[in-house]
Structure 1
Amino acid sequence: MDLGSTALALLGLLLAAWTAAAAWLMIAAGARSRGADAARRTARRLGRLLDEAPTAALLVRSDGRLEGSERLAHWLGFEQLPQFLSELSKHPDRGLTGEQLDELTEKVRLAQKSAAPFRMAVTLPGSSRSLALRGSLADPQVSPGGAALIWVFDFSESEHELAKMRNETARSKSDFAALVGLIEAAPTPMWFRNPDMQLQLVNKAYVAAVGAASAQRVIDEQIELVEPIDGVSPSAIAQQASQSGEPVERIVSVTSVDGNRRRFRVSDLPLGQEGVAGYAVDIQEQEDQAREHRAYREAQRSMLDRLSVGVALFDGQRRLTFANQPFRRLLGIRPGAGAIGAAFERILSDARDEGRITEVRDFPSWRKEHIAWFEAGDTQEEDWPLSDGTHLAVVGQPMPDGGLALIVEDRTEQLSIAANRDTLLRTRTAMLDSLFEALAVFAPDGTLQLWNHSFPETWGLEPEALDRHPSVDTLLAEIQPNLARPKQAKGVGEVIRSATLDRKERAGRLQLADGRTIEFAGIPLPDGNGLLTTLDVTANEQAEMALRDRAEALEAADKVKTRFLANMSYEFRTPLTSIGGFAELLEAEVAGPLTDGAKEYVAAILESVARLTDQVENVLDLSQSEAGLLPIAARDLSLLAFVTGVARAREDAIEAKNLSLDLTGSQSLTLSADPRQLGRAIGQLLDNAIEACDEKGRILVDLSKHDQGVRIVISDDGRGMDDSELARALDGMRAEIGSEGASRRQGLGLPLAKQLIEAHGGRFEIQSRKGVGTSVSLWLPRKPR
């Protein structure tokens, strides 16, 4: 029992010890794990710091193996760092050149053997990257076995800046040397004063201007080029420029070595704390030229004032500097409006207000185009036709100083003369070409000068043969084959010579080979030339013969017409008289009583006979009037009573349509006329007025006196006629109511009335408006002509 208890106690102690040991081991393992994590984090942080550092480490072992970062490989142009040092120069566009690798290998070996540090700078081939190498023997804790540790720095930007600074320094030295040489060689005196305003540097021109032996003597003795002015020395003025920080410029007179006084423009330029520089420019010749230029300009402007052409000068700022009186007058510039200094735009605007420029639709654009004349490289010319008929020629001449000379000339009279001359020439040419006569002008030497289109056609010549302006002999040689008698060409030449040399008129007549007859004449002209006029009279001869034949035919026809009218007057009237007589016998019941129906027929026959008789009378009278055979048996008439009787004869027709007829006139109006013919004329017009009026219409008949006779006006307010209807009515045609066509009138009212009035020596006038009415005016002399 005791042994068992002891064993159990020992076993419990053993288990407890084991548990304690396991717990301690677990605690120790956790602490170590936390330390390892911290070490790893520290290692990563240090590695990241190395990656972000401006340098990269390269470890070269004793066997030439390389250890380094990818960033260094990228600096050397590799994707991955080569394994050995010797592989850095295997690629021509990456790594190091052969010379650079040899130098680096030698320095690495020396460092590995003797622990001597080294420095080296390389520029990679094919790149602008520059690297600085700092090498030494590596610490045994870093790499045991004698490895070399190289720190690589990328100083490309610093290298560029240093190269740039070296270049700028070299250029500055060169520029300074050139500047010193330029100042020394300058033809104008130049100098430099130190902060104490003492002369410290002068050039050769300064030494020569003051007549000194050398520049050193000028500096030692402080010889001034410019004399004190009003007690103020040049150094005091330089001090003022230095204090104000602004350049000081002045024009002074300087006595030269030869004793002459010359004008200089002296400038003092402050250079900060360094001092003041100065230079003097000789402007004596400029002032002499300026005086000469002013005198020349005044003489020129005095001359321009006496010109009839308008001239104005504008400066580079487009301001008026000069304008003569013709310019002011032509552009309508009022006194005081175009004062010196006025802008070019204002001059154009004032001229437009006065109507002295051409009419334009867009004046601002037009003015802008003319402002561009100041910058134009060549002369600008324009014509300005004005509204009052004036024609101005405008020339704009750009000046070297940026200004403009504007020249305005009134060419109205010249253009008028030229237009008249051109019109005369064109009129002469057109007149010559339009004449039926063939014309040619010959010079005193017999050369053809001028001809019209009819000349070559009349003589049977080719127009191209005259373009060479042939002589008389050459022209006659070409005309001769076209003559019926070639020898007559000599007569043509004599006529031309007589007109050009003898100054006498001669004429002739000849016949061409084609049967035409030609009349020609030579006429001396005031300018010494001779005119040959030619006329083809063939048609005249034929026309005369035809006219004679036609006159004979007309005489025969007139006789036939006279006999026809006489016969027709008998032939028409005899049957109508017989018909009317038998109808009257029937109406009188000579042959026995008539029924009511028969009486109506007889009345209709009598009415038709009366109408037909009237129409026959109209036709015969109209025919006789047109033939000039209408007999006029004039006698004195009281016009008012006569017209009243004509109107009363139509009283039934007037009352049938309930019309009103107003007759006005004086009892004293008389005239000599054929009562029958005048009554028929007035009656026809009244019949037309009655027919044209509607129910309750109005007709007005006015009788009045005029200077040479009487005037009868018959007007109505009927339906009227338009122009085409009136023309047809005067021609014997009228439009039928309710139809579109035209038919021959039953009675020839208007034409017959017109013929009857004109047969009395009167005048017939008619006016009509559709829907308004018609008015007819008859102008009759007191006695028929």
Structure 2
Amino acid sequence: MLLHSPAAVAVTVAVALLLAGWTLAAGWAVLSARARVRRAEAAERLARKLTRMVDEAPALPLLVRADGRIEGASRLAGWLGLDAMPGYLTELDGGGRGLDAETLAGLAEAVRHTQKTGAPLSLSLVPRGGVTALAVRGSLADPQIAPGGAALLWFFDASDSVAEIRALRAEAAQAHADFSGLAGLIEAAPLPMWFRDSAMRLRLVNTAYVRAVGAASAAEVVDRGIELVEPMEGLSAAQVAADVFAQRRPAERVVSATVNGQRRTMRVSDLPIAGEGVAGYAVDIEQMEELTRQFRRFRDAQRQMLDTLSAAIAQFDAGRNLVFANQPFLRIFGISPAWVNDTPPFDRVLDRLRDGGKLPEVRDFPEWRRERQAWFLAREPREEPWHLHDGMHLRVVGQPMPDGGLLLIFEDQTEQLQLSATRDTLLRTRTATFDNLFESLAVFGPDSRLQLWNRRFAQDWGLDEEFLGTHPRADMLLKRLAGLLKRPAQVGMIGQVIQSATLERKQTSGRLALADGRHLEFAGVPLPDGNGLLTVLDITDSQKAEAALRERNAALIEADAVKTRFIANMSYEFRNPLNSIGGFAEMLQSGLAGELTPQARDYVAAILSSVERLGEQIENVLDLSQSEAGMLPLARDPVDVFPLLADVVRERADKIGTAGLTLDLRGSQAVGKVTGDARRLRRVFGQLIDNAIAATPDGGRILVECTRRAHDLRVVISDNGRGMDAAALARAMEGLKLAADGRTAERRQGLGLPLVRQLIDAHGGQFELLSEPGSGTSAIVTLP
């Protein structure tokens, strides 16, 4: 009942409400506790996750407080080479491990600087042992993390980066060294080198370039853009380089350039540098070009010389192509120069020669041709004869060349073989001729050994063929010959003749008498081949005839001397009565015997004229006989020639006028004098003028000209008379020659011309007679 009362209900409700409130509060407390647990668990999980992330991060933090205490992951201790992370920064030097004192001091200084200034730090550390390289980046820590000016450092494992950096530094150092060496090499290079940028402007040049263009420095060359290579075909060096740069392809050309003030031939190369520019260099090839020109001149001169040879020559290059053939080759094988200019191969040349019948006949031509092709690879020259079907004989020599080519030499021996055959024939002919001569012949060599002999030699000296076949020396042969001589000691004369012919190369002769009465004449003649020829002739019969002739000649000489003496005596005997006759005639003419009748006077004048003419003839005979006997007395006085000629002409003025002739005397006293006999010279010129008067018809003309030359005086007496033909002139000259020799001559000209010749010869002069039919005759006298 109580339970159902309002108070009870109210209490119940109040209790229920209280209980509900407590229940709600308890539930709320439980729920709040659970939420805090969940938050704590989440925070713990986040802390573990962050710790894990820090442990797995490539960078590890290290908190350095203002008092030097440090907080960091144990993993960082391993990086530093420590077993555990110490409490203070100074304890990172673990005595043989960790950081060394110098590195730790640097780290501490950098941390203090950051703590004071707030500036970030960055440095690299290498713990002891050098196993790990650490990169440190740091700044002031966030106050929420560590208030009071702490520094937060992050450590990175930079071992790979440091190794890569070291490698890059080493590579960079090596590249720098290589570049320095290359730059030094380029700078020291003896050939000009340069570099152009993409605009084709000069940027770099070496010292050789500077010297080549005559500049003061490389900077001057670059600033002024001084070009080494001159424009060629309208293109400058920069334009050529631009084309190379555009096509990305190297170019090379040969140009002329002025280097150190001299014109040189250069080989210029331009090389594109990808995206950068163009590099170039120039090689001086002037010497090579000069050598090339010299080689070409030498080759041309050699080929010109080969063209002058009689041997045919064909030259093949290393490719076995015909590159040259001289004129004898073209002539012998009938090949045109145009065909040679096509440089045909060796096989084709042989085929051409075979088609023209200029190869020997062979059974297997392809095999024969392959054998000749092997000559290109031979080490020694090859030689063989070629006998052609047309009778030509060729000596062929294949000379391998150092460059792999081949030189073929063809020597035409046809004529040589013919000459050899002819020589053999001549030798047989000579032997047959020797054996049939009347003379004894023997040929001795320079060593004095007997080389050749004929049958007559063996017969004349009584020598057997067996002994001669041993080719004995001259001394052994002379021992056998000594017993055959009338005077054995004279055998040495034969030895001297043999020695003179073989060693002294002189021709000598001599005579010997044999014990059997024969007389031999021998002579030694040097032969062109160095041998000596001994000829022996039996002159027994000629000796007898010569002795008879000597006796007869002596008798004739004596008779001629008697004749000369007789003529001389008779001339004197004739002169005395002739003088008497002339004297008495002159007395009668003068009237000593009384006055003469006109007829008597004519008779007396005729007597005096005949006496004068006979006296002249007697004088001529006397002078001629004395001259032939060599006893003509001559005066040696200075003679003024031109006045003498004038006197001679005046003496014959009446005779010239009577004959109706004209005489022209040319000259003057300036011609000078000669040394001689004036009387006999007067007779010479008078006789020549008389001959001209006698040979010139009425109305004719005679010229007497006297001139002085360098070493003599010349007198010419010419007329325009009938003249003489060649036969008559020869007879006249022969008459003069016979008279000069003292022999009897045909006296068609009287004693005048022979006497003239004798008198001129006695004066040491010369006499010449020139004549042509219808053109007259000229007598020329030359006196020294």
Q: TM-score, normalised by structure 1?
A: 0.41
Q: TM-score, normalised by structure 2?
A: 0.41
